[in-house]
Structure 1
């Protein structure tokens, strides 16, 4: 898994535009990021993972990390935390742990990776939602990025910020109350907050970095309630954040869990394919083989601790594209003059009237930028 995580981290750190909005495949999930007006570097990372566990159950993970600007290498920490979280979740997905515990494990593993690199000198927040069963979702949160649920015209904050203001909203002075008490990379110990939620068919979810939810709560509610689709809604939220000064990177995800889970139930997607989206593009990985989950007795001799003993996945060269055979190769006995084949370029999609009206430039999911195959190295 180390090579998988390294490749995903590098992909998240590739050179990209300062702002982008993307619909995730055929789903209702929309993700965005914007560097803002003041800062030169975007230290936010937001991505979606789609995969299948060893039991054939498909899932979505929507996750956001906000690198800490006042510390070392905020962008690298954000990408490392997000890649570490995603790969750790894939690693543990086949275990018998409860879903909340799988998310907690992935958050703790991401914390370990960032801490070993920066020793508390750098870090990132983490907000993530897991969709894998009808009517219910699961989430994990560390730091001051947030997860909201919108029901009709009300916006409910599910998470509590890991700040003094979040933990003690009505006590003490204002000095230092917005400083983070914990984050991914804070130290060897981490208390990741997890929860579950039974949602309604019309509910929407919002993941946001602090640069996005600095917009007034009432504005967020009105914008989402009056947007025709999630991609338009999240783009409008970023626009408002810029209009208010754009002092911080603004990133987020908006989706209807009912519609996204319904897509999973339709069986869209292939076995052993991991699909990743960020606001700038798409990445596919082909995995062959499964990860071994080993249960080891705890140090106290009591409850078991779960850890990864061995992975059957290793990194190989990207898959080579097949070249079409010529007529002569197909039928050597009847050679004929080859015809030049013209390949028509895909035409650009035009914006819908609603997109033109709002000024939103929304990118649909395009063909994968990279395909990586993981061979099965299991000893027989």
Structure 2
């Protein structure tokens, strides 16, 4: 059965004075069936974080426009997008005297293949129906403690250093990137990219259920509303992009008017 894409990008400023997140779903300007989803969570004082996150989107858009699947691998395109954004964010320090940084999570959708990459603690979730298949592992101090068994998952939720990142775009050190890819997927699969202003309020099961039971747009609205309520007046910026693969019926072939089928011998 043919597969259609149901996608939506959404964000909310939360209770912050400024929206420093950026989110976009970008179609390739020349190649049908190719699109790039991006979420960037900026940090760095007034306007600095917003400029950093905007640079991530700008660089990703430029690299997507020049992406030629026959000549460049998806992973190389994603890595170049993040590495170039890192360089430009670092350079902006000398212009605006700020200390801008940004996370990044990107998903490149092509016919028969999905590739993603991330830097920092903005996440990508992959669901099949209402079940989690995988999610990215945050480049954060708390995730490191969790992976080494020094704290539990419950302790990670309230750890005082849960916002400390081990890598980001625009920092003094070279950023760390992680990549993954899927070539087998079907209707009912879904991908979610989001900043910590969203995922901090949900476990995997609840998020999967909301996405499986709703359109991409309705799921965005529900998740943002719940995150806002749970933030209790102290919520962070929220950004997310949802890409659902939906099975659709193949169009029926209607014979032209006056067509008379030949009798079989």
Q: TM-score, normalised by structure 1?
A: 0.56
* Distance apart, 1:243 and its partner CA: 0.7
Deviations along 1:55-111, one digit per CA (max 9) or x if unpaired, are: x55410011111115586111111122112221333354672321111111111111
Take 1:159 and 1:71, find their aligned partners in 2: how far apart are those partners?
Answer: 29
Matched, 1:189 2:174: yes
| Structure 1 stretch displaced more, 194-203 or 172-181 | 172-181
Deviations 1:255-313 (A, max 9, x none): 124679x9xxxxxxxxxxxxxxxxxxxxxxxxxxxxxxxxxxxxxxxxxxxxxxxxxxx
How far the C-alpha of 1:118 sits from its partner, in A, is 2.1
Name the CA shift for 1:39/1:125 in 2 (closer, same or farther; >3 Å): same
Look up the SS of the partner of 1:244 in the other structure: helix
Q: How is 1:252-271 mapped onto 2 (pairs within 5 angstroms)? A: 252-257=240-245
Aligned match of 2:197 = 211
2:10 is paired with a residue of what secondary structure? Answer: strand
Question: Which residue pairs with 1:226 in the alignment?
Answer: 213
Considering only aligned residues, what root-mean-square deviation do their CA atoms show, in Å? 2.7
CA contact (8 A) 2:44 2:101 kept: no
Q: Deviations over 1:166-210 (max 9, x none)?
A: 233122795535301111111362222111023222101111111
CA 1:122–1:72 in structure 2 vs 1: closer, same or farther (change >3 Å)? Answer: farther
Write out per-residue CA displacement over residues 299-349 of structure 1, whole angstroms, 9 at most, x where no aligned residue.
Answer: xxxxxxxxxxxxxxxxxxxxxxxxxxxxxxxxxxxxxxxxxxxxxxxxxxx
Q: Deviation at 1:222?
A: 2.5
Kept in 2, the 8 Å contact 1:108–1:192? The answer is no
Tell whether the 8 Å contact from 1:71 to 1:122 is kept in structure 2 after alignment: no
TM-score (norm 2): 0.78
Find the counterpart in structure 1 of residue 253 from structure 2: none
Per the TM alignment, residue 251 of structure 1 is displaced from its structure 2 partner at its CA by 1.0
1:96 is aligned to 71
Task: Measure the CA separation in 1 of the matches of 2:247 and 2:75.
Answer: 22
Larger radius of gyration: 1
| In the alignment, structure 1 residue 154 sits paired with structure 2 residue 141 | no
Question: Structure 1: which 5+ residue stretches go unaligned?
Answer: 1-25, 263-380
Is 1:240 aligned with 2:219? no
- The whole-number CA distance in structure 1 between the counterparts of 2:193 and 2:82 is 16
Cα deviation for residue 145 of structure 1 reads: 0.5
For this pair of structures, how many residues does the alignment match? 231
Q: Write the distance in 2 (CA, Å) between the matches of 1:50 and 1:203.
A: 20
Bigger helix share: 2
2:126 maps to 1:141: no
